[in-house]
Structure 1
């Protein structure tokens, strides 16, 4: 599990991802059409003095609650900066915990102003929400026990792969590897517990996350470090909320000039990954992939 290997694999999949388009995930498949509640405009957010940001609470090291009950992670670090630059203080960020399959609905119902929950940009999601410029690159990975390591997708035939509902992993394997049995959960912690308990042979989600998890859990290895397309992660707002979207895009471009996301990596991801991942294979500055 070396950064050189991951770098090569991500580099190879980048071209494929840009040509083939992002894998698509279904968030609340039964929910279509317009928003059920109108999102707050940028002016209304400023007037209220708080910005509601949807994040994960169980996806370490991107969005999670630490042992002291505080929300931490790569996405959270960014979210706090958004609040500081928009409203004058990072404490103005009101964090709303979401699950993977609820992200689109939380924007449609205006429960949050922005989603910053490791949200992969896909063509299907673009029809339902508006994505800002990207701030991270990611592909899928597969983690499994060392005693029965899965190092090639062909080894998953007739085996049970754990996935989280509403993720690109669920969609990718459903569409491309129907020979693999999928065990689906709503929350990431449930999925990891199932892997630890032996209810599945492997677990697939963003490679950045499974690499971090494997480093923290002895006896498990990411045997498949990159599969599928190289996708991008970006903030999302309710469809049509142009004023807020334009501000976020401008903010991402401005933050790029100070290499903000490299600082974010150093503060939140480097302590977990060490030298296993080169930040250039993950970080996107100024929205430019």
Structure 2
């Protein structure tokens, strides 16, 4: 089932807890790794202009770290399967690599553990709503970008909070390791961060008034606000930076293959086509139209710090 802005998030969050974020989908059967409604098709492998590394090829499948609590990009659906925009991209990459969109293991990761999962070789690739920052690029190598977002604030509908300068001395809910947390640490030093690892935990804390706002990527917050009529999104976008996939530092062959796969998707307008299927509200689609690479229109990373105040 596709994520649709307006579907109640509670059911999805309950399923995330049921699935457990330490679990992984086993690609040994078509249904185990399957994203509900995935449109990637079986067939021959696709030459993306760079060879798949022998270490990955010998396994016969990709192992990708994905978000499991971040609708509509990566989450667990009502049938307990991985679903979302990033999941569809992962299936397409498996189809390119092995001619089978289900030649894939999807491992749930969080902002706090996704890099360590990669560096310890538990996964081949990070595809988990990860904004590019120069600091992260010192530890891992980033692919070319495939989406864009910035940090905003989710607050109760009746909240007087409208901007970041009102957060000084107040408790703000954030996700450990996320760009929002890093930006607040540097730019709103007087804010008292209450850290969580899961979106569901952060949302519950906000509703329980354990913080005056939840700071996170605007893409997620707009979805949460659409599904929770008692909440709204405020503030200008901060730390605006595209999302990239992460590969191990210095793994030039894997990086070349991933970038080749992403370039092929851009040329065929795969990103925009899949985003429209994932997010079906036409007005919301237009808000994000500039956030995906398309034929003749690409995203680029900023040359300086993404955490400027």
CA distance in 1, matches of 2:287, 2:234: 18
| 1:5-57 residue CA offsets vs partner (Å, 9 max, x unmatched) | xxxxxxxxxxxxxxxxxxxxxxxxxxxxxxxxxxxx72121121111000011
Whether the 8 Å contact between 1:265 and 1:279 is mirrored in structure 2 is: no
1:59-107 deviations in Å (ceiling 9; x for gaps): 1111100111011111111111000111111111100000111111011
- Quick one: distance in 2 between partners of 1:132 and 1:85? 17
Consecutive unaligned residues in structure 1, runs of 5 or more: 1-40
Task: Tell me how far apart the structure 2 counterparts of residues 186 and 146 of structure 1 sit (CA, whole Å).
Answer: 24
Q: Contact 1:143–1:150 at 8 Å: present in 2 too?
A: no
Structure 1 residue 157, shift from structure 2 partner: 2.4
CA distance in 2: counterparts of 1:244 and 1:44, whole angstroms? 10
- Which residue is 1:275 aligned to? 283
Q: 2:165, 2:188 within 8 Å by CA — same for their partners in 1? A: no
The partner residue of 1:233 within 240, 243, 261 is 243
Match for residue 253 of structure 2 among 240, 243, 268? 243
Q: Aligned partners of 2:269, 2:287: CA distance in 1, in Å?
A: 15
What is the SS of the residue equivalent to 2:105? Answer: strand
Q: State the shift of 1:58 in Å.
A: 0.6
2:245 is the alignment partner of 1:259: no
The 1-side partners of 2:240 and 2:183 are apart by: 12
Q: Is 2:175–2:196's contact at 8 Å kept on the other side of the alignment?
A: yes
2:206 to 184, 195, 200: 195
- Aligned pairs for 1:50-199 (under 5 A) are 50-199=61-210
Q: Give the equivalent residue in structure 1 for 2:3.
A: none
Larger helix proportion, structure 1 or 2?
Answer: 1
Query: What TM-score comes out, normalization by structure 1 length?
Result: 0.81
Distance 2:204 2:53 in 1: 40
Higher RCO by CA contacts (8 Å cutoff, separation 6 or greater): 1
Q: CA deviation at 1:149?
A: 4.3
Find the aligned partners of 1:214 and 1:169 in 2 and give their Cα distance: 17
Rounded Cα–Cα distance in structure 2 between residues aligned with 1:282 and 1:169: 18
Q: Deviations over 1:135-178 (max 9, x none)?
A: 01111110100121421122222221100000110010110011
Measure, in 2, the Cα distance between the counterparts of 1:212 and 1:133.
25
1:91 is paired with a residue whose SS is: coil
Superposition CA RMSD, Å = 1.5
TM-score normalised by length of structure 2: 0.76
- Shift in Å at residue 238 of structure 1? 0.8
2:223 matches 1:212: yes
- 1:44 is matched with 55
Separation in structure 1 between the aligned mates of residue 287 and residue 198 of structure 2, nearest angstrom: 28
Question: CA–CA distance in 2 between the matches of 1:77 and 1:150?
Answer: 36
Summarize deviations over 1:97-118 as a string: whole Å, max 9, x none: 0011111101110000010001
3-state DSSP of counterpart to 2:130: coil
The 8 Å contact of residues 179 and 239 in structure 2, kept in 1 or not, is answered as no
**Hey, what's the Cα distance between the residues in 2 that align with 1:240 and 1:157?**
40
